[in-house]
Structure 1
Amino acid sequence: MLCLSLGLLIDVSRSHAETLQANAPVALVEDVSAGRILMQKNADHPIAPASMTKIMTAYVIFDLIDQGKMRLEQVLTVSPAVWKRWHGKQGGATMFLRAGEAVSVENLLKGMLAVSGNDATYALASSIPGGLDAFVALMNKEARSIGLADSYFSSPNGWSNNDITRTTARDLVLLARKTIERFPQFYVKFYQQKEFLWGKSPTGQLIRQHNKNPLFGHIDHADGLKTGFTTNAGYCFTGSATKNNHRIIMVIAGLPSAHARADEAIRLMQMALSAIP
């Protein structure tokens, strides 16, 4: 028997009842293998997803590759406009691309998902026929097709000027699950990278950046997905890990710092995994 209260789910069928309670303003933890919600708090409240938007962007790219409309080895040229908008401090997280640089779709995906490069994201999104507007339309079309009932995307990175992207924790868990189920080979290839090297420092050395996934190095079998931050969204995270053929997917949002995000992600995932026999 399950007893549910706001923000709290207790499995009273166990002699040692497991309790999950979120400190984050928004949270959802689900054992998607069993179809069982372990905890939810404001899971249907509209949120700005910040760079978690890139999970949707990656889904669209994976679908285009699956259809043969894009190839991993395909080389794209970074436009001056993409470089101008997304380099330096005003560009947020970056892969350190250069204007006119030729980069494969595979490396751009790595730059987008491992280090959250906004430059990589826009290089990918603006490359399709019809450009950025066509890509955003595809994001919303795919979102509807997989059942994201409360999501709207206005950019590929959730961080553009006048961005009105909105989603919910429930939709993000569904999006993560659909990504893992439909594109398992891409999920393993791109979401499990611990670090990425690209660009060069002033001394000519390759720039090494580490994945900000707070579960890596703390949770065994953690394998995705994506952090996010803007002033509007706060610090947020969609994450996943497995144990004994069970997959836990979690979303937390609205936290005040990267440290608080990491603490909350690790704590909730540890508790969720400990409930799996």
Structure 2
Amino acid sequence: MKKGFILLMLAGLLLQPAANGALAKEKSSVVLADKAKSAILIERDTGKILYEKNSDEKLPPASMTKIMTMVLIMEAIDKGQLKMTDKIRTSEHAASMGGSQIFLEAGEEMTVEEMLKGIAIASGNDASVAMAEHLAGSEEAFVEKMNQKAKELGLKNTEFKNPTGLPVQNHYSTAHDMALMAKELLKYDGITRFTGTYEDYLRQDTEKKFWLVNTNRLVKFYPGVDGVKTGFTNEAKYCLTATAKKGNMRVIAVVFGAETPKDRNAQITKMLDFAFSQYETHPLFAKDQVITKVKVSKGNVKETNAVTSEPISVLAKKGEDVKDVSQEVNIKKKIAAPVKKGDRLGTLTLKRNGETIAESPLVAEKDVKPAGWWHLFKRVMGEFTKSG
């Protein structure tokens, strides 16, 4: 096992453990979501909870479901399994979706980039199902992937039945789990290019030009808001998972069950105002930053870089001074090819006074393929020659 300790002198610290999908809590007597069934406010990098109300209550998420749909799309792009320019064909089933849609016709093709616009901006149910079928072969298989990813993220109170959020029995989530999904989605820098766009067009050079207007009005009316996803059904009422960034700090606010769009936006606005007025973030590492090299046995290369899987920061209340934060890098003992880009190789741990204050996965920067027998033979002979 490889360990490294680096003393970091920081301007401030107010951080609790946030490992394995758990969110650390900040006690607060402030009432920020009195007109919502449940709500939560977290800082994105640390995962720290700044405010919550009934955040573990299972409720229908409506179209906020599409956050997980977008997570799986962005993950596939990041792993090289999908390209923005790939053409996606619309099936009869996808074209039959009701509710919010971009009016795809059976057999119509759009690029992944266009489908993402349709999902992120217009909340297209038809685009969501078309992407689901392309990635997993069927909508049902994609839903299995959604639930598998939920388990990987440590979401204990979420169950998906479709990739759209259309009403169906036993399809539920919580404000807490939605915040974690949004946290995961925001690892992918390119996603806010879609979720943060207020208006755009599809089929622009055709007679069927289609105007997209973001269902999240705060994208236009609250500075710094660039996502993530609204939701509404008669059962769920008005819901929103929003994110905003000011300076170094990005926060995520979630509201379930507001009675009107005005109430929904007002609750989110109050939470965002509270976060930015009371806290500040001190970045330590960017996503994909190289932390250490890792030896890989039986690979076509001897080692690969272990990089951060997400931005890593320290959160402080404004005006607070803290120092003496150490960094510990723990790498798995045995790592053998094949290694896929994004595979977990170890953990980066932040400590203060011997206490763990944050943990984050370190992942493989690139694929490492198994070495052929001749490659391994030459490597062994090379080592033998050196030792002689």
TM bracket (short chain) = 0.7 to 0.9
Aligned residue in 2 for 1:136 = 143
Aligned residue in 2 for 1:121 = 128
Aligned residue in 2 for 1:22 = 33
Q: Find the aligned partners of 1:163 and 1:70 in 2 and give their Cα distance.
A: 32
Q: Find the aligned partners of 1:55 and 1:65 in 2 and give their Cα distance.
A: 15
Deviations, residues 215-240 of structure 1 (Å, cap 9, x unaligned) = 22222111110000111111100001
In structure 1, give the amino acid aligned to 2:234: T
Q: Which aligned pairs between 1:58-73 and structure 2 lie closer than 5 A?
A: 58-73=70-85
Q: Which aligned pairs between 1:141-180 and structure 2 lie closer than 5 A?
A: 141-159=148-166, 162-180=168-186
In structure 2, give the amino acid aligned to 1:135: F
In structure 2, give the amino acid aligned to 1:75: K
Residue aligned with 2:219, SS: coil
Deviations, residues 126-174 of structure 1 (Å, cap 9, x unaligned) = 12343111111111111111211221111001105x3422111111111
Q: Which aligned pairs between 1:2-21 and structure 2 lie closer than 5 A?
A: 9-10=28-29, 19-21=30-32
Answering whether residue 244 of structure 2 is matched by residue 248 of structure 1, we say no
Structure showing greater Rg? 2
Q: Find the aligned partners of 2:241 and 2:267 in 1 and give their Cα distance.
A: 12
Matched-pair contact (CA < 8 Å) for 1:55–1:176: yes
Aligned residue in 2 for 1:98 = 105
How far does residue 34 in structure 1 lie from its aligned partner after superposition? 5.0
Aligned length: 254
Q: What TM-score do the two structures reach when normalised by structure 1?
A: 0.84
Q: Find the aligned partners of 1:247 and 1:80 in 2 and give their Cα distance.
A: 40
Equivalent of 1:198 in 177, 199, 202: 202
Residue aligned with 2:42, SS: strand
Matched-pair contact (CA < 8 Å) for 1:111–1:196: no
Greater mean alpha carbon deviation, residues 123-132 or residues 108-117: 123-132
Matched-pair contact (CA < 8 Å) for 1:29–1:251: yes
Structure 1: gaps (5+ residues)? 2-7, 11-18
Matched-pair contact (CA < 8 Å) for 1:20–1:38: no
Cα 1:237–1:101 shift into 2, 3 Å: same
Identity %: 34
Matched-pair contact (CA < 8 Å) for 1:218–1:266: no
Answering whether residue 64 of structure 2 is matched by residue 52 of structure 1, we say yes
Residue aligned with 1:156, SS: coil
Matched-pair contact (CA < 8 Å) for 2:66–2:119: yes
Q: What TM-score do the two structures reach when normalised by structure 2?
A: 0.61
Q: Find the aligned partners of 1:133 and 1:262 in 2 and give their Cα distance.
A: 33
Residue aligned with 1:216, SS: helix
Q: Find the aligned partners of 1:81 and 1:35 in 2 and give their Cα distance.
A: 38
Structure 2: gaps (5+ residues)? 1-13, 15-26, 280-317, 319-388
Q: Which aligned pairs between 1:250-269 and structure 2 lie closer than 5 A?
A: 250-269=253-272
Q: Find the aligned partners of 1:242 and 1:38 in 2 and give their Cα distance.
A: 15
